[in-house]
Amino acid sequence: MGLEDIDFQEKRYEVEITDIEASDGLLFEEVATLLSKSAQRKERRKAFLEKKEKRSRNDPTTTKVVIHDIVTKAYSCCSLPYFCEIVSSVLKSNHTVQLVRNIGFGYLLELDDCFIPRPFVQWIADNVDTQAEVIVFSKDIIPLNCESVQFVLGIPSGEKIINMKEEEAGKQAFLALFGLTEVPTIKSFGNKLLFEKLCDNDFLRCFMVVALATFLCPTSNTKPSTKYMGALLNVEEIKELNWCRFVHEWEMVYIKKYQKEKLKQNRTTMTLGGCIYHIAVRCLDYIDFGSIQVAPFMPRICVWKGQMIKHFSDMTIGKDGKYGPL
């Protein structure tokens, strides 16, 4: 399936494939007003919580906090700053830019120094129905599927399914290309991109490893997963594979894992795998910000850049200091 096969009218967007960069100039005067109000609500909430905590310490009748009252923090495994560093390195050369575009991942180079608030992504993950593969907010349902991954990221959605049945054989063959016997850290592949002179095929393999491990399909491990190494052996075939399906299924598995782990007793911290950028943008694209209009360029990675996700997610914070759809 190509980008042109998707119904881009699902959320009032006109079909327009572009590399135009969006910036904070998209934020109108109304945004500044709303952000100011959001900041005021945060301050009021903070003062209220401090006052409440002081009261509870002085009140002998206060009952002990149970596990359900404890806020469980989910830290994302996605390393956007590091991936953006790699992207900046790729952009220094027209040759390397063209290499990445040739395998269908050129839109990832649109990503700049993007920031996604952890509590915002956790709030979305808490509201994902992994069985139905949707984000559920009261009466609003936001689909999460292969098409939405391509809608947001613009990565290949070819006819060939990525085969993970021969994971061990794929790992060994991939490591042999680099003269390795054990899987090194993600950063070791990044260092090759940053500091070594690589042939085109090795450059693309290293780029894909870092892109998958830090942005598209991150885990809690500092080493890349061996599940996709076999898919990177034949560089010429990368564009023909269905990466949208792979990223989507990976995301559902790790959100389900996060939700299951959160139910366990005494868990106050955990990790959230999968492409958090995808679910953050998917959520914000469905929220009505009134007169504030976000540019309709496709795919959405061409628009949601820099501090935009933070700015707009801040506008969804209510008087209680919690995120919620407008």
pLDDT digits (tens, 9 = 90+) for 265-306: 667 778 899 999 999 999 999 998 989 989 989 999 999 999
Which of 165 and 322 is assigned the larger pLDDT? 322
Cα 160–chain centre separation:
24
Which residues sit opposite 106 in a β-bridge?
A: none
- What 85-89 contacts at long range (C-beta under 8 Å, 24+ apart), as own/partner pairs, is 85/190, 85/194, 86/190, 86/193, 86/194, 86/207, 86/210, 86/211, 86/214, 87/111, 87/112, 89/193, 89/194
Instruction: Assess whether pLDDT exceeds 80 at residue 34.
Output: no
pLDDT band at residue 112, thresholds of 50, 70 and 90? confident
> H helices then E strands: how many in the chain?
11, 5
Run of H or E residues at 211: helix 200-211
Helices 94-102 and 200-211: angle between axes, nearest 10 degrees = 70
Q: Which residue in this structure is represented by tokens 């027209």?
A: 94
pLDDT for 17 equals 38
- Residue 17 DSSP SS3: strand
Tell me what the pLDDT averaged over the chain comes to: 83
How many residues are there in the chain?
326
Alpha-carbon span 240 to 6, nearest angstrom: 17
Residue 278 or 38, more confident: 278
Dihedrals φ, ψ of 258, to 5°? -60, -45
Residue 172: predicted pLDDT: 97
Distance between CA 192 and CA 100 in Å, rounded? 16
Range with lowest mean pLDDT among 127-131, 199-203, 318-322: 318-322
- CA quadruple 29, 30, 35, 41: dihedral sign: positive
Query: Percent of the chain at pLDDT above 90?
Result: 62
**Confidence band of 139 (pLDDT split at 50, 70, 90):** confident
Q: Label residue 32 by pLDDT band (50, 70, 90).
A: low
pTM of this structure? 0.79
Q: Which residue has the higher pLDDT, 241 or 40?
A: 241
